[in-house]
Amino acid sequence: MEQTIIEVRNLTKQFGDFKAVNSISFDVRKGEIFGFLGANGAGKTTAMKMLIGISIPSAGEAKVAGFDVYKETEQIKKNIGYMSQKFSLYDDLTVRENITLFAGIYGLTDTEIAARTVELTNRLGIADEADKLVASLPLGWKQKLAFSIAVIHNPKIVFLDEPTGGVDPITRRQFWDMIYAAAAEGITVFVTTHYMDEAEYCNRVSIMVDGVIKALDSPARLMQQYNAKSMEEVFIILARGAKRSDN
Amino acid sequence: MRILRFLLRKEFLQIIRNKSILPIIIVSPIMQLILLPFAANYEMKNISISIVDHDKSQDSRRLIEKILSGKYFLLQSNAESYTVALEDVEQDKADVILEIPAGFGRDLVRDNKVKTMIAANAINGQTAGLAVSYLNSIIMDFNSEIRMQWAVNPAVQPIPVIEISSLSWFNPLMNYKFFMVPGVMAILVTLVGFMLSTMNVVREKEIGTIEQLNVTPITKTQLILSKLVPFWILGQIVLTVGFIISFIVYHIIPAGNILLVYAFSSVYLVAILGLGLFVSTFAETQQQAMFIAYFCMTTFILLGGIFASIDNMPRWAQMITYINPISYFIDVLRMIILKGSGFADLSRHFLIMFIFAISLNMLAVWHYKKTS
């Protein structure tokens, strides 16, 4: 029996009369790459914010890494990494200073920080740029760096909110190699994306339409079930009836 | 503690790299301290006066001479009539008219009393009021001189006179700049502490980095302290620059203990930074933050007792100054620098500022949300 690391039951977020997330339920298994798909405005980011403890749900239950999303948000934060849609490293700090800051916040020791900085910059091939301001790096590098920093403390789960928005296909490919590497180390990956080819890299995906989860399975089985050649076709079939458009 | 160390390092690095910080904390105090006290000067000199002398007697000439011999009044014209003099006022050439009636000298001797008329251009009420009171005191002075003179003349019954002589304590030369400089210093310290801390937090909101911090295990207190400490230090630097400028330019040496000023500014900055952080929890964009900060600053300054004396304000405005932190700081700076007050005289100010510091920071911590 595989271990469940995220457990969501009837989770709801309501803003006034509007149910941004309407009673969703799903499980994420330890070590898998879970794709959280949906059109713009479907409620993906809102759902994710509840899971990472920066938005309190209106109703329902959820446990992340065994901690309750209502009462134990600070515990959750110690056990997860997060990379937001907006690039959110500090542009006016160098690569090394950004690494040190976040590693320090997560409680790594000075020797661990030094070791991880060398390892990380070498792996990304930016050892020579370690003392340059992050602002001077190209977007693709910034995003790879942001991901590396999100997993610097070996979290149990890493949440990625549209991590590959705006980067070229080669960088996207490299980015996914990094995701696989993280998963191989035992980090569970929870990722939202627009790109349906990326959906096929996931172990399992859920497809959200208008605040509800319409489908949840492995990409292969979903394609079979909807008699589609690609995830893109599956997505179009499911999302066709969507009422909410782009924000 | 360890987390705070990393956060503080980050803040300091960002402050050092921010090219606008140095001009804000060094250049702006220099500019403001040099320019403002000179420009915002309430001392009146060179008031233009038009004199209508209908009497042309020895006594009237003596009065005129006395008026013009001081540094306050400049003769605009000797008009033949009040109407002519009024034209000077209408053309903005004269600020005030003095009309000496015919028979001034004669009546002075015969009736022992005489009337003169002063008319002032009251478009600027402050100038007018001061001009009239200066003129009044010169005439009073003239009055007593005459009496003294007659007192030695046995033909005239001496009239007992109570003379009021005034002495200005703590600022003996009535130098208006001594009054202004501590006020400007208070404004500068407030501006740097309040504005920079507010803008810093809201900028992180705009860029989205605050969300990243909110997903980490840092606590609210750690985050707020990481914003408080750097700007607290910047505020003290501005205060120090202020003391240096006021010594070099105005030769002001605090009469009291300068360490007491720093002791008070330490508490004051915590209060004002707490307010800044509290404001930043309301603003989503730097534009909103600017507007709120601007509103607060203007209110603080206008009701802070720097330009207008609090004692002259209506009751309701005085009530507002009680909850205006800057008015306490201005007061303390003036009391220590000009008067040499000690801790015992300022204990009430310290107590109130402690209450401000604690409550404003509690509000900021309470209202800052890591979650929505």
Q: How many domains does chain A have?
A: 1
pLDDT at residue B2 greater than cutoff 80: yes
Residues of chain A positioned with their CB less than 8 A from the CB of B6:
100-101, 104-105
pLDDT confidence of residue B353: 96
Q: CA angle, A58 as apex, A56 and A61 as ends, to 5°?
A: 80
- The answer to whether residue A74 sits within a structural domain is yes
| Sheet hosting strand A18-29, strand order edge to edge | A18-29, A4-15, A59-64, A67-68
What is the enclosing helix (H) or strand (E) of B36? helix B28-39
Give the span between the Cα atoms of B340 and B362, in whole angstroms.
33
Determine the structural domain holding residue A59 and report its residue range: 4-239
pLDDT confidence of residue B28: 83
pLDDT at residue B372 greater than cutoff 70: no
pLDDT confidence of residue B173: 60
Interface-testing mutation among A48, A50, A88, with chain B (most B C-beta atoms within 10 A): A88
Over chain A (247 residues), the average pLDDT of each successive run of 10 is 86 91 93 91 90 92 94 93 87 95 94 94 91 91 92 94 86 92 94 87 92 92 91 88 61
Nearest Cα residue to B132 out of B3, B20, B44, B18: B44
Q: CA angle, A120 as apex, A182 and A152 as ends, to 5°?
A: 55
Domain B47-151 is of which CATH architecture?
A: 3-Layer(aba) Sandwich (3.40)
Q: pLDDT digit string (tens) for B226-244?
A: 999 999 999 999 999 999 9
Look up tokens 């909410």; give the residue: A244
Query: CB atoms < 10 A from the CB of B13, how many?
Result: 16
CB pairs under 8 A between A and B: 77
Contact (CB<8Å) B216/A106: yes
Q: Give the residue-averaged pLDDT of B213-226.
A: 90
Residues of chain A positioned with their CB less than 8 A from the CB of B213:
105
DSSP H stretches of helix in A41-84? 44-51, 73-79
- Cα B240–chain centre separation: 19
pLDDT confidence of residue A247: 41
pLDDT confidence of residue B11: 94
ipTM, two decimals:
0.88
- The answer to whether residue A193 sits within a structural domain is yes
Q: Domain map of chain B by residue range?
A: 2-40+175-367, 47-151
Q: Give the residue-averaged pLDDT of B35-53.
A: 77
Cα-based distances in Å from A120 to A100, A103, A126, A149, B52 = 12, 12, 9, 9, 90
What CATH number is associated with residue A36? 3.40.50.300
Look up tokens 């709120």; give the residue: B292
Contact (CB<8Å) B208/A104: no
Give the span between the Cα atoms of B11 and B239, in whole angstroms.
21
Q: Give the residue-averaged pLDDT of B259-285.
A: 94
pLDDT confidence of residue A46: 92
Contact (CB<8Å) A106/B370: no
Contact (CB<8Å) B217/A78: yes
Give the span between the Cα atoms of A96 and A127, in whole angstroms.
10
Beta strands A18-29; A188-193: pairing state? unpaired
pLDDT at residue B40 greater than cutoff 90: no
Q: Mind telling me how many Å the CA of A100 is from chain B's nearest CA?
A: 8
pLDDT confidence of residue B159: 55
Contact (CB<8Å) A84/B208: yes
Look up tokens 């610097």; give the residue: A152
Query: Which residues does B contribute to its contact with A (CB < 8 Å)?
Result: 2-3, 5-7, 9-10, 13-14, 17-18, 207-209, 211-219, 370-372
Cβ within 8 Å of residue A121, ≥6 positions away: A95, A96, A99, A127, A129, A130
Give the span between the Cα atoms of B201 and A150, in whole angstroms.
22
Cα-based distances in Å from B134 to B46, B52, B284 = 12, 18, 53
Query: Which has the higher per-residue pLDDT, B247 or B311?
Result: B247
Nearest Cα residue to A200 out of A175, A234, A242: A234
Query: Which has the higher per-residue pLDDT, B42 or B321?
Result: B321
Residues of chain A positioned with their CB less than 8 A from the CB of B226:
none
Contact (CB<8Å) B10/A89: no
- The answer to whether residue A235 sits within a structural domain is yes
Q: Mind telling me how many Å the CA of B292 is from chain A's nearest CA?
A: 26
Contact (CB<8Å) B6/A54: no
